[in-house]
Every structure is written in C-alpha cells, then in structure tokens.
Structure 1
C-alpha cells in the first residue's frame, strides 16, 4: 500500500512538473515577441544591422522614441486615435445599454427573433459591409472626418449580447419597485441597471477601446490626410516611407510600435479582473 501511494505521489509530481513546464513554454512563446519589440526599440541602427542578433541592447538608444516624433506627426496620430477610441466607447456603450435593456427586460413581439438577428451580425465580416457603408459616408460628406471613424461602429452585437446577459441576471423586483415609485425607463437604465452591471460595462468599455485603438482597415479607407490619420495607419506609413531601407530604421519602427501598444497594456493589466468577472457572467441565458 505504501509503495502504491509513493508511486501515486511520484506520478502526481511528474504530471504537475509537466504542466508547469508546458505553461512556462507557452508563456515564453507568447511573451517573446513583446520582449523582442521592446528590446529592438532601444537598439541603435548599427546594432540592428548586425548579422548575429543580440538579445540585450549594447547601448540604450532612447533617441529612437524622439525620432519617431520627428519622421511622422506622431502626436497628431496619437490624439486622433484617442479621440476615435473615446467617441467609439461613448457611442457604443450607450447604444448597447439601451438595446440590452430592451432585449433583457422588455416585453414585445419578436424580441427573441430580433436578438437572434443581432447575434447573427457577429458572423458578418467587416469587409462585407464596407462598400455600402463607404458609399453612405461619401454621400453624407463624412469621409476624412471623425464621424466616419466613429459612427459606423456605433452598434456592437457583442456588446449588446454581453450587457443583455448581465441585465438578465438582475432581479426584476427592484425594477418593479422603481416603476412604482415613478422612475422612467432611462432612470431605471442609468441609475439602477448601470451601477449594478458596472463590471460588465467597464469590461465592454475596455474591449471597445482596444478594438478602436488597434483598428487599421477602417481608418485606412476612411481617411486620406495626415490630419486624420491614426496610429496604426501612421506606423504603416512610416514603414512604407522608408521602403528599401527598413534595416536602417527598424529600431524607429519598433519604438513607434511600443508607444502605440503601451496604453493597451496598461489598461488591460489594470482592468483584467473586470474582464474575467464579466466573461464568467456572459453565459447564454
């Protein structure tokens, strides 16, 4: 019996060690590109062109970050991206809140069918609706404006689904009591449901921010002047402007990319517990 127990303990320790080793390998595989991006952004042009790559800078070339502001209007691109992300968050959250409230607590004919159609929008690629939306923006005279960057993404099927699932889990008795006290629909939504579903709302805001910040295809098509370019398009312009000499300026491109992803990393790291909690409550009901 003792030998069997010892064999079982040995097997458990070996299995645990294998799991830890696999987890570490996956973590290193995922983290290495970020590490290489950061390290490369601090290398000199000469070190970047070395035949044998170095895994640590010989000298920290902080001037690469200043160079990024010199070669392209980086501050302008950063401000445009921030405005686009803030506008998208404000518009998408309000649309999702009102739609989710209707689907979760409303009683009207065809509610479930309409919600199914909203979910069906999740499988439609953005490129499918690009042409009609582009024509619409052109007819409205919104090309190369923030309206074209923000308004077409004002409704998010995933956001409506996420908030609807959160609202479905809330007790209706509280809402009925509020109605008896004379509260209207907007008062119930913004004064009662919104605070109770705040973790999900915060999570959705973070996801909208990340999606807007990383958006490339839509801003590329909808803007045609430097005054309206965003970071993703601006960094691509930086790469294209030095076509043929990438090896000489890879450090500057890396520095630009580090500054672009830094806000996402900070926000996601600070708010990841809200994302986990919201996803745990988003099961289909």
Structure 2
C-alpha cells in the first residue's frame, strides 16, 4: 500500500486553512501585549478615540519621557532589576542545593518533605505573608532592599522540584566517580552543578518573571519607604483620584516588558530542554 507524504513547502487547501486559523488565534493572543506597545506612541486623546486600532495616527515619544522622569519610573525600574536579579540568584542556589539533597540522598522523612513542598505550591501568597512579614521585621530588615529580596525569594518550592528531577536523571556513574576521588557533598555538587545549565536557565526565567511581576509582596514590604517600590507598584503613580494617565501608563508597561523579553530571549534555548529534563524521573 502506498503512503502519501506531504512534501516540505507544499501548500494544500487544508494546510492553508489551518495556517490562517493559527495566525488569527496567535494575533488574538498577542493583542493584549501589542496594545500597550503601540499605545505608548499615541496621545491620550487618540487612545480614547482609537478603539481597537493598534497603529498610531501620529507617533509621539513624549509618553516615555513622562513615564521615565515625571513618575519616577526610572527609580522603580532600577529597584525591580536589583530585586529580581538578586532574588533569582538566591532562588537558583537554594533550590539547587535542596533539589540535589532530595535527589541523591535517602534520609528519614525525605518522601514526606517532597509531598509538603508540592502541597505548599498550591497555597496562595496571602496565606504566608504574615509570618514572612513578622520574620523580616524581627531581623530588622523591614523597609529595606534586603528585606524585599528575602521576601521575594521565599517561593523556591517549584524550582526545588525542577532541580530534584534533573539531578535524579543524571547518571549515577558521575557521582560514583566523584565519591572515588574523595569528593564530599559540596565538592560533588560543585562539579555536577554546571551540568544543570538547562534547569538553571528555566529557574532563572521563572524566578525573574515571578519577582518582576510580583505586586503584593513589594507593596507590603515597602509601605514605610516608597523609594523602594518596584515597577508593578509604581504603575499606580499613573492613576489619580479622578483621572488616569493612560498614555503614560502604556509607556510604563512597555518599558517594564523589555527586561522580561530580554531574559527570555537570552535563556530560551535552554528553557524547553530544562523542563523536559526535569520530568524524566
């Protein structure tokens, strides 16, 4: 029986219809992301009159200057970069060490600990904000940069499970060779850790995105020091009691998306590989 094969580059009526439908769905999915980008180059009056139209009739860059200086968005952007980079680095280190211990060592209560970590993933942030707030306050880091960083680093459970799955998939021969050479826990970890580049990139993307978009935690831990606010909290500066600077808000949103896009572009080659390797076990 002859089997028909679709030649590469050959268009059929069915493939054309599928392509058109997928392009339409992709546009609908991308529209909320494209709207602030194009709206950032419109005047406020044009934004209210444009409806669903994306393309500006008259391009203007005044919104970016107003968002950067007038609303102190430059300070919020720098704060967000400091918080996100620092909390992401701490998350990677803590999750890697915890995942390595859970994957390569057997100890009483290890299985229960895995279940608890998985269960805590389904708990909303609001349920743990009070004990974290009390802990940060008790060590004297409330309304400080390090206090916000530590509060943003508290959610390492999912990253720990990713590292655990990836370390469990590494061949046992590598660990046996390190043990024969007399390597201990930290030395073996230092040699094996570079092999987890895909999962490091995956954790970095997820951690950076989560920290960058977090609103509740930075708001609570910077109430006494507004200069430490982040981008997500600083966006409220464009909302007044009786008016909204919608064009400045769109420009600020566009600026806030640039770091996330750059991080994903830089690490995306490892992202899928890291997720796939983490679930092999």
**Aligned residue for 1:157?**
157
> How far, CA to CA, are the matches of 2:38 and 2:213 in structure 1?
22
1:232 aligns with 2:232: yes
Aligned alpha-carbon RMSD (Å): 2.2
The match for 2:80 is 81
2:272 paired with 1:276? yes
The 8 Å contact of residues 96 and 160 in structure 1, kept in 2 or not, is answered as yes
Distance 1:47 1:200, change over 3 A: same
**1:15-26 equivalent positions in 2, closer than 5 A:** 15-26=14-25
- 1:127 is paired with a residue whose SS is helix
TM-score (norm 1): 0.88
Partner of 1:245: 243
TM-superposed CA distance for 1:140, in Å, is: 2.7
Q: Does structure 2 retain, via aligned residues, the 8 Å contact 1:95–1:155?
A: no
Aligned runs of 1:121-160 on 2, under 5 Å?
Answer: 121-152=120-151, 153-160=153-160
Runs of 4 or more above 4 Å deviation: 12-15, 51-54
What CA distance in whole angstroms lies between the structure 2 residues aligned with 1:105 and 1:36? 48
With over 3 angstroms needed to count, the CA separation of the structure-2 counterparts of 1:188 and 1:154, relative to structure 1, is: farther
Give the 5 Å matches for 1:167-178.
167-178=167-178
Q: Which range moved further: 263-272 or 226-235?
A: 263-272
Cα offset, 1:170, TM superposition: 0.4
Is 1:267 aligned to residue 263 of structure 2? yes
Alignment of 1:210-225 (within 5 A): 210-224=209-223, 225=225
The answer to whether the 8 Å contact 1:194/1:201 transfers is no
Quick check: 1:104–1:168 contact (8 Å CA) kept in 2?
yes
Number of residue equivalences: 272
Per the TM alignment, residue 226 of structure 1 is displaced from its structure 2 partner at its CA by 2.5
Q: Give, in angstroms, the shift of residue 28 of structure 1.
A: 0.6
Q: How does the TM-score come out when normalised to structure 2?
A: 0.89
The alpha-carbon deviation at position 223 of structure 1 amounts to 0.6
Unaligned runs of 5+ in 2: 5-10
